[in-house]
Structure 1
Amino acid sequence: MAFSKLLAVSLLASLLLLHFVDAADQSATQGSLRQIDCNGACVARCRLSSRPRLCQRACGTCCRRCNCVPPGTYGNQENCPCYASLTTRGGKPKCP
């Protein structure tokens, strides 16, 4: 009888420990997915721009707001709808 109680308690404790380890692993993974390297992504996006500093500044603002930069040096904005939807006060696209 005592052995079965000990077995049940140890099984419950191990399941609880596995639950906490899994939760910690998921939160660490989600934290790394939330932040991208905006500087690196914008340097790559703006490398062919005629005004690279201006392009990188606008791209950095958009990247921080959307946490996304479309691939390539131009276009592909369907891969990042938030990035594509940002506009200037004049209604022109804000993000390069």
Structure 2
Amino acid sequence: MKSVSVTLVLLSLILSSFFLQYATADSSTTYAPKGVCDSKCGVRCLNAGVKDRCLKYCGLCCQQCKCVPSGTYGNKSECPCYRDKLNSKGKSKCP
């Protein structure tokens, strides 16, 4: 009987933490679907020297900005959010 009650308590803690995560999520922040970003960043980073790094940062920028400029270089005016993201050194964060 004791093991059943311990199991129920643990199960209720797990379920309550799961629902709490959804209740406290910031609904004002929306992100682009990962598949969309993967395909657009694949094109954007096609000619990159360090492709894995390009894909990583392009993916982060795409998720937050919901857009990726066309082509493999430049055209950042198409997506101002993507263009204006800066790293800690003041350089463009997005490839």
- TM class, shorter-chain normalised? 0.5 to 0.7
- Structure 2 equivalent of residue 38 of structure 1: 37
- Structure 2 equivalent of residue 72 of structure 1: 71
- Structure 1 equivalent of residue 87 of structure 2: 88
User: What code does the residue aligned with 2:77 have?
Assistant: E
User: What code does the residue aligned with 2:59 have?
Assistant: G
Q: CA deviation at 1:40?
A: 0.3
- Structure 1 equivalent of residue 26 of structure 2: none
- Structure 2 equivalent of residue 58 of structure 1: 57
SS in 1 for 2:47: coil
SS in 2 for 1:75: coil
Size of the alignment, in residue pairs?
63
SS in 1 for 2:74: coil
User: What code does the residue aligned with 1:41 have?
Assistant: K
Q: CA deviation at 1:35?
A: 3.7
User: Stretches of 4+ moved more than 4 A in 1?
Assistant: none
Structure having the higher helix fraction is 1
TM-score (norm 2): 0.64
CA deviation digits over 1:20-40, x for unaligned, max 9? Answer: xxxxxxxxxxxxxx8450000
RMSD over aligned Cα atoms:
1.2
SS in 2 for 1:72: coil
Q: Distance in 1 between matches of 2:93 and 2:54?
A: 10
Report % sequence identity. Answer: 43
